[in-house]
Structure 1
Amino acid sequence: MAAATSRQDIFVSLTRNICKWWALGGGVVLFALVAVNVVSVVMAALINKPVPGVYELVQMGAAVSMFMAVPYCQISGSNVTADIFTAGLERRVIVFLGGVGALFGLAWALFLLWRMSAGFEDVYEYRETTAIYQIPIWYAYVPTLVSLLLFALAAIANLIQAKQGKLPEEVEAGMSS
């Protein structure tokens, strides 16, 4: 049994690290969007010529950036919770509810992965592009689908943690100290 637990701990730790770096990558995407917007505003103010197509870049980039944060939010227990309802409950009940939440997260991740995969197939097949830069829309689907796969893996890691009697935020705190 110890070997199985060890493999589970490795899976949880590896998933956590991948999700963390993926979310940081999403932060880089968001930073780039802010930079493009600042350049566009400055250019509009100084020479009356903003960066063309900034809207389409922000539209795609913001979606990708937000999806890239979702797996880390799941695995670290950073999703929105109603602690006011669980504050007086026993620890084992809170861990159980965390497991139930992870199960719902897994179901939601798989549902979104299924539907976004269908969307990806459509935009890829019909070669839909942005209006100004003609960037294929499917480019944004690739990191989004990776994010949803990581979201599912993060939820599985949370289920493993719940089975072990751990809360995600406790594991996160233990890793940072």
Structure 2
Amino acid sequence: MAGLHRIVLWLARLMALLGGAVLLVLILMTCISIVGRALNSLMHSGLVTSLAPGFAAWAIEAGLGAIPGDFELVEAGMAFCIFAFLPYCTVTGGHASVDVFTNFLPRGANRVLEVLIAGLFAAVLVLIAVQLNAGMARKISSGQTTLLLQFPVWWAYAACLVGAVATALVGVYVAFVRLYELLTGRVILPNAVGADH
């Protein structure tokens, strides 16, 4: 069990690191695009065109401006990031939880609830991965592309599917571990981290 837990934790951390790297690239790209858009507006301003018309024309001709398709890239990249962070959140018990009523239940009842919730969550995660795969297949067959960059929409679906499958695998693992914990009394995974009131 410990070896499998290390593998699942490694997968979850790898996905989180990939998601973090993509998020950093998106942040950098967004900042560059915002600065480029602002400088492009400045080059079109009356002040710059009257003081340095040649420089303004050169800068605009050189392509100074927003990164083309930045919104499309952010949309696809953020979808991947969300799915990339889910496995780590799932295996560490980092999802939001409401424990208003369960605090009054005995520990045994809470453990049974943890098993039921983990099983339901795993089923939903598998369903999301299956439906995302079906959606990707439809996008491949339709040949749909993005408006500006013209990259196939299914590429974003494929990137998200990697995270969705990893999350589904982690979710199924967590469900089995919660059942194992209930049957043996051992604690392997952390309890859900709720808000402190």
Q: TM-score, normalised by structure 1?
A: 0.84
Q: Does 1:51 align with 2:67?
A: yes
Q: 2:159, 2:111 → 1: CA distance? A: 31
Give how far 1:28 is off: 1.0
- Specify whether residues 156 and 10 from structure 1 end up closer, same or farther in structure 2 by C-alpha distance, changes over 3 A only: farther
Distance in 2 separating the partners of 1:89 and 1:14: 33
Aligned to 2:90: 74
- Does 2:90 align with 1:97? no
Q: Kindly indicate whether residue 189 of structure 2 is the aligned counterpart of residue 168 of structure 1.
A: yes
Larger Rg: 2
Match of residue 59 from structure 2: none
User: 2:170 maps to which residue?
Assistant: 154
More helix by share: 1
Distance change >3 Å, CA 137–CA 98, structure 1 → 2: same
| In structure 1, distance between residues paired with 2:124 and 2:77 | 22
Residues 9-34 of structure 1, C-alpha deviations (whole Å, 9 max, x = no match): 32232112101110121111111111
Amino acid at match of 2:190: E
User: What SS is found at the alignment partner of 1:87?
Assistant: helix
Residues 31-90 of structure 1 deviation map (CA, whole Å, 9 limit, x = unaligned): 111111100111112233211211111111111111111121111111111133323433
Alpha-carbon shift at residue 93 of structure 1 (Å): 2.6
Correspondences of 1:81-92 after superposition (within 5 Å): 81-92=97-108
Residue correspondences, number = 165
CA apart distance, 1:161? 2.3
CA RMSD of aligned residues (A): 2.1
Matching residue's letter, 1:51: I
**Aligned counterparts of 2:24 and 2:12: Cα–Cα separation in 1:** 18
1:167 positional shift: 5.9
Contact 1:11 1:157 in 2 (8 A): no
2:135 to 90, 115, 119: 119
5+ long unaligned stretches in structure 2: 42-64, 182-186, 192-197
Listed as ranges, the gaps of 5+ residues in structure 1 are: 1-7, 171-177
Percentage identity across aligned positions?
Answer: 27
2:60 corresponds in structure 1 to none
Residues in 2 aligned to 1:102 and 1:20: alpha-carbon distance in whole angstroms: 20
Contact kept, 8 Å, 1:109 with 1:148, in 2: the verdict is yes
What corresponds to 2:18 in structure 1?
A: 25
Q: Is contact 2:83-2:167 (8 Å) kept? A: no
